[in-house]
Amino acid sequence: MKDIEHVFFDLDHTLWDFEKNSDLAFQKVFNRNNITIELEVFLKTYKPVNFKYWKLFSEEKVTKSELRYGRLKDTFDVLNYTVSDDLIDEIAINYLEFLPDFNHLFDGTFEILDYLKEKYELHVITNGFDEVQHKKLKSSNIHHYFNKIITSESVGAKKPNPKVFNYALDLAKADKDNSIMIGDNLDADVQGALSVGMQAIYCNFENNTSINGEFISVNSLIEIKQYL
């Protein structure tokens, strides 16, 4: 890839191991609030519900508060576990409080960031909440690699909205022709970047075989070295 000067990373599910860290955060939340349902049973129901809400959130069909409440309320309802609205609110607060305390990263994160930092300006574009994402970056000791950190909350829009990518390019003083986006979400990260003229690398960690398009696909972070 020629002429690349700026590399933009997604955070969750790309560098920061959201699934592992989230599971650990919920274990801590359940212990704090004496939730008696088995964590594994809860998570099996919660994860697809959470995915649904994040999709709605990225499409700006639900608010942040509706996401935080709804994903928990719906999960407990499906499991027929009685919980008050006050406790749901407490769980939601605790979860976001505890989540950044865990800092598991995907294999190769430090190696690829060390490698790329010598050659490019690195940035983050994330749909996560502003305060939480900054805490994640700091607690996992990767904050210092990035020049600009752009959250959907700071922009007022969410990937794949072109406004997010154009805002990030302006903030980083980058041009679409010398910039590339790296992320795990085909719609939010890859297609979002391509729609504004950036190049893209898809982190295909789940080995999705039904993909095609004008972008590079890698199965591990280290594979990025082959292209940058």
Tokens for 212? Answer: 């095609």
Q: What integer pLDDT is reported at residue 198 of this predicted model?
A: 97
Residue with tokens 């696909």: 217
Strand ranges across the sheet with 179-183? 148-151, 121-126, 6-9, 179-183, 199-203, 216-218
Tokens for 6? Answer: 């700026």
Q: What integer pLDDT is reported at residue 203 of this predicted model?
A: 97
Q: Output the tens digit of pLDDT for each of the chain's 228 residues.
A: 779 999 999 999 999 999 999 999 999 999 999 999 999 999 999 999 999 998 898 888 999 899 999 999 999 999 999 999 999 999 999 999 999 999 999 999 999 999 999 999 999 999 988 999 999 999 999 999 999 999 999 999 999 999 999 999 999 999 999 999 999 999 999 999 999 999 999 999 988 877 777 899 999 999 999 999
Q: What integer pLDDT is reported at residue 132 of this predicted model?
A: 92
Q: Check: pTM over 0.85? Answer yes or no.
A: yes
Residue with tokens 């990518």: 165
Helix ranges, the chain (H): 18-33, 39-58, 64-78, 85-98, 109-117, 130-139, 152-155, 162-172, 192-195
Q: What integer pLDDT is reported at residue 214 of this predicted model?
A: 83
Euclidean distance between CA atoms 28 and 120, whole angstroms: 38
Q: Report yes or no: 32 and 39 within 8 Å, Cβ to Cβ.
A: no
- Beta strand extents in 148-221 (DSSP E only): 148-151, 179-183, 199-203, 216-218
Helix axes 18-33, 85-98, angle to 10 degrees: 130
Residue among 68, 4, 11 nearest 189 (CA): 11
Other CB atoms closer than 10 Å to residue 56's CB: what's the count?
Answer: 16
Euclidean distance between CA atoms 45 and 26, whole angstroms: 13
Task: State the amino acid at position 151 in one-letter form.
Answer: T
